[in-house]
Amino acid sequence: MDQGRAPVRFEHVVRRFRSVVALDDLCLDIAAGEFITLLGPSGSGKTTALNILAGFDRATSGEVVIGERAVGALPPEKRNVGMVFQSFALFPHMSVFENVAFPLRMRKVNSSEVKARVFRALEMVQLTGFGDRRPAALSGGQRQRVALARAVVAEPPVLLMDESLSALDLKLREELQEEIRRLHRDLGTTVLFVTHDQGEALTLSDRVALMNRGRICQLGTPDALYDRPANRFVADFIGRTNIVPVDGDGHNASVGLETVAEHAVALSIRPEKLRRVRGQGDIVFDAVVQDVAFKGATMELRLRTSSGLILRMSEPRTGGQSAPALGETIRIGFAPHDATPLYE
């Protein structure tokens, strides 16, 4: 499908529910054709932002702009956005074909065009030949594909997805992630995706806006949030990490740290950055093995330093290294540049 795309802007959007501030001066620019994920814990404001953009809710103040048009006063049907819900929201009494065709019927598209566009949409989500089936006859993954086809069949310039994969099991979620990435490449539409699953956000997004308490804590590419978290909340929320406290001069004697960053309050060290095979220039220290867990491609070690600090290390099962014994003291190293200073 060859379709337009539109940029989206949140301009100082505030949403209050009596004394609760759900969105606190949200400002966000999304480029045309970009895939942005709003990520955060429950109550962070991400779904509120999506609902305001979709027209299901109204901002207390501020404005939302799609393309060059302010849409804050428009009803949902006038905003020309596609929507994929967590619950699929398919009509059970309609066939797959009629479910996908529904947005086109509402727009009074002629029958021959409806047929051609529905067939193209079903082909895109790999459901060719499923048009006569009812939703009840489909698997969860197939129903979500129908919901995707329905959302894109009208070729909206903006596609909104609200926790769209959370109802599926892990294998289906991973399959649908690949499907969504391919659809985005093929369509080029602007996508705003909402999830609380950080792995999903890192896999799908051009950029991720990590939200907490109605504000964006950090906005950037997935690798920037993972490798260079702005603060302790980001480091904790994105993946797993070790938070190593340091004093005002950047010291932590138990892991051999000298001055790393002035005024830092802690360091974030990812488990995979700790290693038994040390490189030149590594910071090294001793730790006692408290637990070893087999994870397939990796071994996960729980370590205790001389000061009692608990660290987790993820070690690939390559190179012929055997698992250390419980209670064994091992030498650990990490590169100084793999320790990210945290200032709050």
Looking at the structure, tell me whether residues 34 and 166 fall in a common domain.
Answer: yes
Taking only the tens place, the pLDDT of each residue in 75-100 is 998 898 988 887 778 899 999 999 99
Looking at the structure, tell me whether residues 249 and 158 fall in a common domain.
Answer: no
Read off the pLDDT of each residue in 61-78 and give the average, rounded to a whole number.
Answer: 94
Does pLDDT of 168 surpass 80?
no
Report if residue 314 sits inside a domain.
yes
| Beta pairing class for 310-316 and 298-304 | antiparallel
Q: Residue 85 has what pLDDT?
A: 82
Report if residue 325 sits inside a domain.
yes
Report if residue 3 sits inside a domain.
no
Q: 3-state DSSP call for residue 84?
A: strand
Taking only the tens place, the pLDDT of each residue in 114-155 is 999 999 999 988 899 999 999 999 988 888 889 989 988 988
Task: Give ∠ CA 56-59-65 in degrees, rounded to 5.
Answer: 85
| Cα–Cα dist 261/243, whole Å | 15
Read off the pLDDT of each residue in 220-234 and give the average, rounded to a whole number.
Answer: 94
Looking at the structure, tell me whether residues 57 and 159 fall in a common domain.
Answer: yes
Among 194, 227, 260, the domain boundary falls at 227
Which CATH number covers residue 64? Answer: 3.40.50.300
Q: Residue 53 has what pLDDT?
A: 97
Task: Give 201's Cβ-side CA count (13 Å radius).
Answer: 32
Tell me which of 195 and 165 has the higher pLDDT.
Answer: 195
Taking only the tens place, the pLDDT of each residue in 326-341 is 999 999 989 988 988 8
Taking only the tens place, the pLDDT of each residue in 280-319 is 888 888 999 999 999 888 999 999 998 889 999 999 887 6
* CB distance 144 to 164 below 8 Å: yes
Read off the pLDDT of each residue in 93-116 and give the average, rounded to a whole number.
Answer: 92
* CB distance 147 to 90 below 8 Å: yes
Q: Residue 15 has what pLDDT?
A: 97
Q: Residue 174 has what pLDDT?
A: 84
Does pLDDT of 2 surpass 50?
no
pLDDT band for position 216 (cuts 50, 70, 90): very high
Does pLDDT of 3 surpass 70?
no
Looking at the structure, tell me whether residues 207 and 275 fall in a common domain.
Answer: no
Q: 3-state DSSP call for residue 263?
A: coil
Taking only the tens place, the pLDDT of each residue in 18-41 is 999 999 999 999 999 999 999 999
| Cα–Cα dist 43/41, whole Å | 6
Percent of the chain with pLDDT over 70: 94
Looking at every residue in the chain, the average pLDDT score rounds to: 89
- In which domain, by residue range, is 329 found? 241-342
Q: Please tell me the chain's helix, strand, coil percentages from 3-state DSSP, rounded to the nearest 5.
A: 30, 30, 40
Report if residue 126 sits inside a domain.
yes
Structure token pair of residue 275: 């290693």
pLDDT band for position 1 (cuts 50, 70, 90): very low
Taking only the tens place, the pLDDT of each residue in 6-22 is 999 999 999 999 999 99
Report if residue 48 sits inside a domain.
yes
How many independent structural domains does the chain possess? 2
Tell me which of 140 and 166 has the higher pLDDT.
Answer: 140
Which CATH number covers residue 294? Answer: 2.40.50.140
Taking only the tens place, the pLDDT of each residue in 251-278 is 665 666 655 566 778 889 999 999 987 7
| Cα–Cα dist 1/122, whole Å | 12
